[in-house]
Copies of this chain bind each other. A is one copy, B any other.
Amino acid sequence: MKVRVFVSLKEGVLDPQGKAVGHALASLGFKNVGDVRISRVVDLDVAAETADEARKEGEAMAKALLANEVIEDFKVEVVA
């Protein structure tokens, strides 16, 4: 099954990478860009019998490795 884990910084946490991209875009002439936030999407092939089992595996992997829960939130979707 295809599991998608969407990892994004929590509201209010500064995004230095986003800030850098914002400045780079401005220097390239894109003057109408405000806040820039960058997130990660991890697509995994998971051998699971049911979608529910695949989702639980995705959540366990997100907690164990894929997301730093101090500063990041994550969402798990079972795609197929």
A interface list, Cβ under 8 A from B: 6, 8, 18, 21, 24-25, 28, 30, 32-48, 57, 60-61, 64-66
Contact = CB atoms under 8 A, between A and B. Distances in A.
A57 B32 contact: yes
A40 B42 contact: no
A3 B21 CA distance: 14
Contacts of A44: 33-36
A40 B18 CA distance: 12
Contacts of A33: 44-47, 57, 61
13 contacts: A25-B64, A30-B60, A30-B64, A33-B45, A33-B46, A33-B47, A33-B57, A34-B44, A35-B44, A35-B45, A36-B45, A37-B43, A40-B40
